[in-house]
């Protein structure tokens, strides 16, 4: 994968870069990463059927699309690798984002960005679509349209950022990290992922795993990237998906 330059497909306006990628997988070359981007999304999608507000020319709306071997292990870590790549990239811009497990990007508890990964099987391979939305130059008025506390690089730092430059930095960081993850697994990323989290040990939390609400405190992130909570009844429970409330 690393020997191939990232191929770019860009739209001025599209429903969703993830949806387009799913529907047009035949246009995606095998053996490398294709980066599908848009200046505006009309039906941007977040996790769990949330809408992703995607006004024109203000933010990053991007999907990294690639084919993986069916035997590739631990695909569930790839969204975490993408979120961590974004945190590392943003640091170079003086922006200190944190990860809300599993892969939300926050600054001071406000949502800066998020990752939506989708996969399906095609022949003997898995098509992986790793979508990321990052609020870059969104102003307060637009941010207020989002149904939860949200922020942007502009709102946090008082100055905007060059979307293309940021995207190109993020792509470079993600492709190196992805290549390493595919060879070495999550181990090389574990420490920096842990250090990027917004929750620290013993923080009181509420967590929904889409079946049930759990109350307790944050215990740790396991070496495989899963979440361990200490519940109110004194027991510990590990989760591989869900969201903090």
Binding site for ligand BTN (CB under 6 A): 16-18, 41, 44-47, 50, 52, 61-63, 104, 114-116, 131-133
Q: Is residue 58 classed as helix, strand or coil in its secondary structure?
A: coil
CB closer to ligand BTN, 146 vs 229 = 146
Specify whether the CB–CB gap between 51 and 42 falls below 8 A. no
**In this structure, what DSSP letter does residue 49 have?**
G
Beta bridge partners of 237: 229
CB closer to ligand BTN, 46 vs 160 = 46
CB closer to ligand BTN, 105 vs 221 = 105
Tokens standing for residue 121: 């099987």
Q: Least separation, in Å, of the C-beta of 73 and ligand BTN?
A: 24
Q: Least separation, in Å, of the C-beta of 168 and ligand BTN?
A: 16
Q: Least separation, in Å, of the C-beta of 229 and ligand BTN?
A: 21
Specify whether the CB–CB gap between 136 and 163 falls below 8 A. yes
Q: Which conformational region is residue 9 in: left (phi greater than 0), alpha (psi within -120 to 50 degrees), or beta? A: beta
CB closer to ligand BTN, 133 vs 216 = 133
Q: Least separation, in Å, of the C-beta of 60 and ligand BTN?
A: 8
Please give the residue whose beta carbon sits closest to ligand BTN in the complex: 114
CB closer to ligand BTN, 104 vs 219 = 104
- Cα 75 to Cα 103, 114, 125, 127, 180: the distances in Å are 14, 17, 13, 11, 13
The residue among 93, 94, 63 whose CA lies nearest residue 78 is: 63
Q: Least separation, in Å, of the C-beta of 15 and ligand BTN?
A: 8
Name the percent of the chain in helix, strand, coil, to the closest 5.
30, 35, 40
Q: Least separation, in Å, of the C-beta of 113 and ligand BTN?
A: 7
- Cα 43 to Cα 14, 23, 55, 77, 124: the distances in Å are 8, 14, 10, 26, 30
The residue among 125, 115, 144 whose CA lies nearest residue 243 is: 115
CB closer to ligand BTN, 129 vs 155 = 129
CB closer to ligand BTN, 103 vs 219 = 103
Q: Least separation, in Å, of the C-beta of 235 and ligand BTN?
A: 29
């Amino acid at each position: 994968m690393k020997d191939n330059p990232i191929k770019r497909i860009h739209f001025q306006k599209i429903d969703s870069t993830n949806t387009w990628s799913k529907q047009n997988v035949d246009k995606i070359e095998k053996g490398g990463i294709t980066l599908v981007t848009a200046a505006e999304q009309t039906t941007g999608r977040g996790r769990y059927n949330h809408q992703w507000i995607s006004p024109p020319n203000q933010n990053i709306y991007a999907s990294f699309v690639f084919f993986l071997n069916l035997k590739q292990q631990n695909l569930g870590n790839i969204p975490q690798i993408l979120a961590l790549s974004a945190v590392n990239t943003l640091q170079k811009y003086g922006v200190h984002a944190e990860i809300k497990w599993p892969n939300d990007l926050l600054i001071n508890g406000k949502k800066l960005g998020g990752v939506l990964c989708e996969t399906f099987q095609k022949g003997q391979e898995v098509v992986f679509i790793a979508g990321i939305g990052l609020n870059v130059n969104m102003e307060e008025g637009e941010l207020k349209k989002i149904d939860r506390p949200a922020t942007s690089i502009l709102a946090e730092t008082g100055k905007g950022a060059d979307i293309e430059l940021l995207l190109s930095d993020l792509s470079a960081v993600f492709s190196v990290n992805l290549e390493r993850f595919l060879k070495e697994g999550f181990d090389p990323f574990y420490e920096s992922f842990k250090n990027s989290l917004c929750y620290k040990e013993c923080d009181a939390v509420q967590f929904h795993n889409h079946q049930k609400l759990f109350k307790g405190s944050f215990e740790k992130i396991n070496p495989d990237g899963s979440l361990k909570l200490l519940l109110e009844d004194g027991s510990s429970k590990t989760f591989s998906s869900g969201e903090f409330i």
